[in-house]
Amino acid sequence: MKSNPSDSARRHEGDDTLPTELSELLDRSRSRLGPFGTVHYFREVASTNDVAAPLPEGAVVLADRQTAGRGRRGRTWFSPLGSGLYASVVLAPGRASSDPMRATLLLTLAAGVALTEGVEAATGLHADLKWPNDLYVARRKLAGILAEASGEHVILGFGINTSAESVPPDLRERVTSIESELGRHVDRYAVFLEALASLSRRYDDLLHGRFDAILDAWRRRAPASAGARVARTVNGVVETGLTAGIDDNGALLVRMGDRVERIVSGELQWL
Ligand code: BTN
């Protein structure tokens, strides 16, 4: 379908003008994006999560570059110009029809599943999930998710390394990109829109209480969630154990000696 020229030039107050390729792809994909059809595009922001925080449910913020991108646990997220996807989506899992609490607990797992599905649909690259929601290819991190509460909303930020330039130079052993894995150029915006389309389907699962669909999909994509050796440090003491799956609320189970610990947050080291 030919896009309407006024759609291509679409811009919201304060946003930068959407690049034509993105605008055209957005118009073609809109029917699959559910609530995520409004994309606020910026050439540069400090962090897309901050820009998204005051926006309504469903709003999407995409930037070509972040000057203060952040990761989990106070880390920075390397966000150089045009070489990765830096995006945030405003969600409201608390309005889930059956069990808002469980929907909130499973939100980041659902998002991890959606990102793996989106990357695969756009490029054919299969990524694994590592609890709770990092995307990995062959033990190298490809993408990460940062969920932050903002009033009634959860701001779900995701960073996907699309080209080799998005990999921090000092982390080449542990971080990868879609293009490095596939050995060819990929269309960043196509990855972005497939990720949004998958997120729309998984968010719908979440809001309608289809939790088993999310958990099953997560488990299928997370081989290291069972039988992998992990360590964690509590009060300076290092404990090791073997992963034993996730429970129905998304907590990681780890067998440590003769007991099984339920891990809900905190840093785990994968050995
Ligand atoms: C992690 O794995 O530590 C989470 C990384 C999340 C990075 C994304 S990039 C878009 C959004 N804005 C941010 O400042 N962070 C998230």
- Reported as a single tens digit per residue, the pLDDT across 174-218 is 999 999 999 999 999 999 999 999 999 999 999 999 999 999 999
Which of these three, 220, 243, 260, is where a domain ends? 220
| Percent of the chain clearing pLDDT 90 (strictly above) | 85
Residue-number span of the structural domain to which 254 is assigned? 224-270
Same domain for 43 and 158, yes or no, is: yes
Q: How far is the CA of 238 from the centre of ligand 1 (A)?
A: 28
Give residues with Cβ within 8 angstroms of 201, minimum separation 6: 34, 114, 117
Same domain for 58 and 164, yes or no, is: yes
Pocket test for ligand 1, best of 42, 146, 148, 192 (most atoms within 8 A of CB): 146
Residue 1 lies in a domain: no
> Which amino acid residue places its CA nearest to atom 15 of ligand 1?
70
CA separation for the pair 266, 254 (Å, rounded): 13
Q: How far is the CA of 98 from the centre of ligand 1 (A)?
A: 29
Contact between 84 and 63 under an 8 Å Cβ cutoff? The reply is no
Q: How confident is the model at residue 10 (pLDDT cuts 50, 70, 90)?
A: low
Residue 263's CATH number? 2.30.30.100
Residue 188 lies in a domain: yes
**Ligand 1, pocket residues at CB < 6 Å:** 47-49, 66, 69-72, 75, 77, 86-88, 134, 144-146, 157-159
pTM for this predicted structure: 0.94
Q: How far is CA 7 from the centre of its chain?
A: 27
Q: What digits encode the pLDDT tens for the residues 130-140?
A: 999 899 999 99
Structural domain count, the chain: 2
Give residues with Cβ within 8 angstroms of 41, minimum separation 6: 15, 16, 17, 18, 19, 22, 62, 63
